[in-house]
Amino acid sequence: MSKYTMIVTAREDQGKGASRRLRREGLVPAIVYGSTTPLSVSLSANELNKALQDDAFYSSPINLELDGKNNVVILKDLQRHPSKPVILHADFQRISDKQRIKIRVPLQFINFEKSAAAKASAKFAAESAVVEVTCLAKDLPEFVTCDLSQIQSGQIAHLSDIDLPKGVEIVALRRGEDHDQGIGYCYSPRGAKTAG
């Protein structure tokens, strides 16, 4: 189910001093929530930083291996240092095959260059880079797309315009149509001239 595997170690010590010691040793303190009691763990900072360079990691099932046992989780939150490129803490949530999860996945806008608006020198401004969805872990997409091939100048793209894989729902749309917010818009720049 998961293409990411990370080895974690259970940790007994709690508090800021213990977390600082772990970070000095090249480890990141983390917690695993869900189904059973929360579990305090640590994992390699280098491994985590490498995984975070892949956008899909943020919205994919992750296999945390602890003492030979597998915990399938998703990344729920990261605490970063305000001025250094350092991860201070990570939160993971356990997932199961039968339980729907709520997670933010990347949103990609495609085919704008094929639209009549683009051919008439219009531009598209994205207002969202992620969208919150709910689905079973097996249906979790790495990203969702919004096809802009038919967009017109002056038109707004909405959540309902996103192409969703089977089994995936947008959380805001479950609340009704009045939550169908804009995710981007097409506009003609003033005095737009063809580049040349």
pLDDT, mean of residues 178-191: 86
pLDDT at 194: 43
151 and 121 together in one domain = yes
195 inside domain: no
Cβ–Cβ under 8 Å, residues 16 and 61: no
The mean pLDDT of 52-81, rounded to a whole number, is 89
Single out the residue of 100, 158, 140, 99 nearest to residue 4, CA to CA.
140
pLDDT at 118 over 90: yes
Question: What mean pLDDT do residues 100-121 have?
Answer: 93
In this structure, are residues 64 and 73 in contact, taking their beta carbons and an 8 Å threshold?
Answer: yes
Residues 26-49, mean pLDDT to the nearest whole number: 89
What's the domain range around 31? Answer: 4-95
Which comes out higher in pLDDT, residue 129 or 35? 129
pLDDT of residue 2: 60
Share of the chain above pLDDT 70, in %: 93
Say if residues 55 and 105 touch (Cβ distance below 8 Å): no
What's residue 196's pLDDT?
36
Shared-domain flag, residues 107 and 82:
no
Q: How confident is the model over 40-44, as a mean pLDDT?
A: 92
Q: Starting at the edge strand that comes first in sequence, how are the strands of the sheet with 169-170 ordered? A: 162-163, 144-147, 100-110, 130-136, 169-170
Mark whether 58 and 88 lie in a shared domain: yes
Residues 9 and 91 in one domain: yes
Tokens of 191: 């005095």
Final residue of a domain: which of 95, 119, 138? 95
Q: Residue 59: pLDDT band by 50, 70, 90 thresholds?
A: confident
pLDDT digits (tens, 9 = 90+) for 67-108: 888 888 999 899 998 988 889 999 999 988 888 988 889 999
Structure token digits, residue 21: 């010691």
User: Structural domain tally of the chain?
Assistant: 2
Is residue 179 one of the residues assigned to a domain? yes
Phi, psi of 195 (to 5 degrees): -65, 145
Backbone phi, then psi, for 24, in 5-degree steps? -65, -30
Of 95, 120, 152, the residue that ends a domain is 95
- Give the CA count within 13 Å in the CB-facing half-sphere of 114: 7
Please check the confidence at residue 26 and state whether its pLDDT lies above 60. Answer: yes
Tokens encoding 18: 């213990």
Could you give the CA distance from residue 54 to residue 96 in angstroms, rounded to a whole number?
23
Per residue in 121-156, pLDDT (tens digit) is 999 999 999 999 999 988 988 899 999 999 999 999
At residue 176, the pLDDT reads 61
Inside any domain, residue 76: yes
